Structure 1
Amino acid sequence: MINVRSREFAVPFLQRLIQVDTCNPPGNEHKLSVLLQDVLRETGIASSIKSVEQGRSNLEAVITGPGSRKLMFCGHLDTVSPWTTAAGRYPPHGAVIEGNRMYGRGTSDMKSGLAAMLLAAASLHQDGIRLAGDLIFLATAGEEVDSCGARLYADQSSLAVLDGIVIGEPTGSRVAVGHKGALWLRISLFGRSAHGSMPQLGLNAVEGMMEVISLLHRHALEWQEHDPVLGSSSLSVNKITGGVQTNVVPDHCTIDVDIRTVPPLQHGPLRREIEARLQEIQQLHPDYRYQVEQLLDRGVVYTDPAQRLITTALEIAARQGGAGDAILQVQGVPYYTDGSVLHDNGRLPVLIYGPGDHRLAHQPDEWVDIDDYLASIDFYRELAIRFLGTAEE
């Protein structure tokens, strides 16, 4: 079989992954699980597929070693929705190569990282390198929405046996030690409808929601925190729905709020503060009724840079990128990952490292640098060897 780390194998392999539509919703990740299982089988590695729901699944492969140490390589199978023809130049699932870039949905977020981790594991097996501990490759469904695959794995497996997790999200091939927490809230405001020509007889929920949005932004400034690695907390109102038609006073309006947190902010107290502020508004406008629904709750992920997993990653990055390069500085990433579900309540060290620029994620004409993708295969391979050791040692 051709060397799985070679450009001749690795680039067409990534193209195959991009060409499989796993946009979430609905996901349809099972198609990609089957493709990955076929490739693993060709390299002599057994794997198992676990159904998450109809048409959706996780894939897990374990390369066992005689020792007790266990390292997980984790990536997600799904992507966000494709861009429209008008928005982009390249087809979302075309995997078009131009220059040294591959274009397509998931090239950065994060099928390139997923492919690189699989090929790193396969190359170790192909070359007869026996690791001293277990290397676990986990491909999950649903990370882009609710981490349904990671949550299923956490419910059915023992995270306590792991010694570290590597998440292959895009970091520009730099070592990231964590990410912000994410709290998504849906706030609904209920008023009273009336004819548009007689607005005084109604209670306009859309206009009332303007006051709620203003309150949220004022409150965000009060509790804003900054972490030197993870960055600053933030609040953004990213979706609003309300109203029936132009001549009807709306009796209902809903907003979806995306809150990103850094220490020392905690989601429970923060949500209670927001609900208390809404109660204050309701006391001023007793005819309104509010409802707060939690859509997502992902905690902060942070790993001490002195942890062995991180120091090992920095040493490998130094050799790949040059001693004076900014690549040697640890960083945080602004997005959340499956690490927030799998880090065993903060016990496990989590390394976030992958090819691709996170700023390209969810954007039209998403792309990855092919050389960076190929270099990441070698990075993951070396990380597994150095963290787990080899059986001959």
Structure 2
Amino acid sequence: MTTLELTADPIELTAALVDIPSVSGAEDALAGAVTEALRRQAPHLHVVRDGNVVLARTQGTRRRRVLLAGHLDTVPVADNLPSRREAERLYGCGTSDMKAGDAMIAHLAATVPDPACELTVLFYDCEEVEAERNGLTRIEREHPDWLHADLAILAEPTSGAVEAGCQGTLRVVVRTAGRRAHSARSWLGSNAVHAAGDVLDRLNRYQPRQVDIDGCVYREGLQAVRIAGGVAGNVVPDLCEITVNFRFAPDRSVAAATEHVRDVFEGLELTVTDSSPGALPGLDAPAAREFLAATGVDPVAKYGWTDVSRFAALGIPAINFGPGDPNLAHTRDEHVNVGRITRCTALLRDYLTRGAQ
């Protein structure tokens, strides 16, 4: 097992975490290394491993509890391991999404033995895949007390900004129907792929909203992400399926988002295949206000879905704050600016030691 030094510079710790591959579903080695390191280097924390979820927390009586969370898994490796350092950039799979954030959390867990608030640290698996495999799903079901907090900070990549709330997401399949025929006698059939042009026209005409919520502007988007149709090279197709993804502002519920998409595609067959609610900014919560005051970082809207939504559904204010760059997530040249690792770690340390008093 690789030995992690949590008290080392968090830049070096990021590289060490990256060099332990942890593609979704294969986080065992990394979860084991993190568990062992916390037990050895953070004796002030009660540490539990549940599958490939690592949980640790203080057990004092301070008036507020802050939860720091990060997922251990990455998307599949794309010839970008092991990590490598080039000037102010650290390259490697998961550097931005989100092992730089994990390193920040683990380093602070070990080096802040007496925080000003009660502290929970949570590293979890399978965030990059379907929700039912997400380690938080099991923890929420089997150990809900571990998720109780006055503020949850997810170290998702935000380039050092505070990204508040998150968008909801909805996927639907829109179907167009036709009638099969031999392509040499196409007038005897009706081409379902051609009929899909109506779907694409509606998408091209669509005007997405921009919504200001608590000073955070969320931009919606309705996009075709997949088209499937066709039978053979000499057959007029009788079915075409267009998968459409709607990223919606958190002032809409999933039901309202679904109704909106049905209105856009009125008259067409539509099936909802996946949905997750968004999360409102929640910046009026006392702990969130204290975090903003302690860090001096102005909040912006989170584009995309994160597990902030899960905490919001539990009534727990939650924000995204991490050193990684969301625009580099999942790319072959994924990297993180090492200066942001240092800066974000310092800001979060200041909050944990002074800002939550």
Q: CA deviation at 1:238?
A: 1.5
What secondary structure does 1:237 align onto?
strand
Q: CA deviation at 1:358?
A: 1.5
Contact 2:4 2:34 in 1 (8 A): no
| Count of aligned pairs between the two proteins | 348
TM (norm. structure 1) is: 0.79
What secondary structure does 2:225 align onto?
strand
TM (norm. structure 2) is: 0.87
Cα 1:37–1:263 change in 2 (3 A) is: closer
Say which of 62, 87, 94 aligns to 2:57: 62
1:351 and 2:319 are equivalent in the alignment: yes
Q: CA deviation at 1:102?
A: 0.5
Counterpart of 1:75?
A: 70
Quote the sequence identity (%): 26
Q: How does 1:1-393 map to 2 (within 5 A)?
A: 4-7=6-9, 10-24=10-24, 27-43=25-41, 44=43, 45-51=45-51, 57-83=52-78, 91-125=79-113, 129=114, 131=115, 133-147=117-131, 148-156=134-142, 157-158=144-145, 161-218=148-205, 220-221=206-207, 224-227=209-212, 228-276=215-263, 278-281=265-268, 290-304=269-283, 306-318=284-296, 328-345=297-314, 347-386=315-354, 388-389=356-357
Q: CA deviation at 1:121?
A: 1.0
What secondary structure does 2:313 align onto?
coil
Cα 1:112–1:232 change in 2 (3 A) is: same
CA distance in 2, matches of 1:162, 1:180: 22
Q: After superposition, what is the alpha-carbon deviation per residue over 1:30-87, rounded to whole angstroms, capped at 9, x for unaligned? A: 3321121122122134422223xxxxx322111222235221101112223344xxxx
CA distance in 2, matches of 1:336, 1:116: 21
Q: Is there any run of 5+ residues in structure 1 with no aligned partner, and where?
A: 52-56, 84-90, 282-289, 319-327
Structure 1 stretch displaced more, 231-240 or 207-216: 207-216
Contact 2:250 2:278 in 1 (8 A): no
* Corresponding letter in the other structure for 2:95: T
Q: CA deviation at 1:278?
A: 4.1
* Corresponding letter in the other structure for 2:110: A
Q: CA deviation at 1:100?
A: 1.7
CA distance in 2, matches of 1:235, 1:46: 45
Q: CA deviation at 1:153?
A: 2.2
What is the Cα-based RMSD across aligned positions, in Å?
Answer: 2.7
Q: After superposition, what is the alpha-carbon deviation per residue over 1:277-296, rounded to whole angstroms, capped at 9, x for unaligned? A: 54524xxxxxxxx3413313
* Corresponding letter in the other structure for 2:288: I
CA distance in 2, matches of 1:277, 1:378: 47
What secondary structure does 1:312 align onto?
helix
